Structure 1
Amino acid sequence: MADEKASLQSTARFGDRVDDYVRYRPDYPPALLDWLQREQGVDNSWRVADMGAGTGISSKLFLDAGHRVTAVEPNAPMRAAAEHWLQAYPGFDALDGSADASGLPDASVDLVAVAQAFHWFDEEAARREFARILRPRGLVAIWWNSRRLAGTPFLEGYEALLNTYGTDYAKVVERYADDAHMRAWFGTGFRGAARFEHAQRLDFEALRGRLMSSSYAPKPGHPRHEPMLRALRELFHDCAEDGAVSFDYHTRIFAGQPA
């Protein structure tokens, strides 16, 4: 079990998928930032630590709103992609760090943001690190774009495809935290939660890239890779309207202070 967990949490897991990740992973709905500002009192003077920042998709959300952002990311290719993409923002910097050893000074940030990464963390070690780097008024905001699994023929077909061809899809899916788990993680520090609708319109090339950005998609040379892409093309052919499919998400966010 320990070896399995270490494999799932490997900081190198996405290192050879960076190009697809940059081009095809979804951003986050503007309503998410509006909610943090309106309901949680976040303003653009708050300094943000983006933990497990990946290629910088979540960092850009805050940079565009005028925040200073430190992207904390242990995966070197993903961190380099973020640095290249966001280098024009004067308020941006990046650190080789992790959720339990960020490299940030004590009480140095106002908001710890965790987008699409919390399920890879040691939850108790992350709680201690977040508490250490937060200023007294500081908040933690944790969110995911959770792919909808049903509701349209495409969504249901895509889920079936992952279950058929994914290398360790079931193990990864089981790691996503539900609402009750997240409320319990915050405990008495829990301040609120919200959910927003979000979607990507993808042509076939973008759909292929979105699939290949996932750590459980078999890579070229794997015996399931070509059969998976054939199945994907058939699914796209059956479901596309006006040359695209709708890749739908529920974006779930939880905010509070680490108890």
Structure 2
Amino acid sequence: MSATPERKGRLSPGDIRARKGIEPVVCLTAYTTPMAQLVDAHCDVALVGDSVGMVLHGLPSTLGVTMEMMILHGKAVARGSSRACIVVDMPFGSYEEGPEQAFRNAARLMAETGCQAVKLEGGRHMAETVAFLVARGIPVMGHVGLTPQSVNTLGGYKVQGRSHHEADRILVDAGTLADAGAFAVVLEKLPTVLGRRITQEIAVPTIGIGAGVDCDGQVLVIDDMLGLFSEFRPKFVKRYAELGASAEAGIAAYADEVRARAFPGPEHVFGEGNPE
């Protein structure tokens, strides 16, 4: 087991912001209480991502995720966490209409889950909303580059910012969110040089996912990095375990023993005894 920095109490969005240029921010997604307990021991941020819709609910994209789903999983993560800063994604359709709609839903997420911040996708067009939320006591993490909730507009899950025009636009997007009060900005699926440039030019930490090693921190979907789904291998994910294969082998062994009446064995059953 790796050593982790000694911490007292829960990290706040302000603590994460203060890491800029000092210490890398470690972030993983979490959706359940047991996984949150594991993440909490080693990570600075536990992100309750709307990727839960695809990872746990079998949805084809994040677009079908609801507020109720995010609240359910946010509560579960809060029960399993005491140190990491919990950030909950705002689902598609819960904030795009305007600042007032965003505030109502973000306030509900925070009140019902106990999270420390929310995350929303989008660039400069979301700056007014970010400023509105921050001014009313809701810390916001931004998200630019590949924004999965806009997958239909973007034309798929492809790398963003390859052209000079796109790169300049994403740089402005990230800077505008930082200026609006976001305490950190996720950079997803960008060329390494662009991830480095944004990290150097904005005043808050960048959290990379497929955006290069120069970002101020990194985030991955925990099911991807633990190898729970062997068929899904995006380029930016490193597999730190192959739990899916181990789980399948265990399930197959159990099924074989049940069919052969080898389980339960004598050590797994109770004696006759006297009825009470």
TM-score for both structures, normalised by structure 2: 0.30
Larger radius of gyration: 2
Greater fraction of residues in strand: 1
- Work out which structure has the larger RCO, using CA pairs closer than 8 Å and 6 or more positions apart in sequence: 1
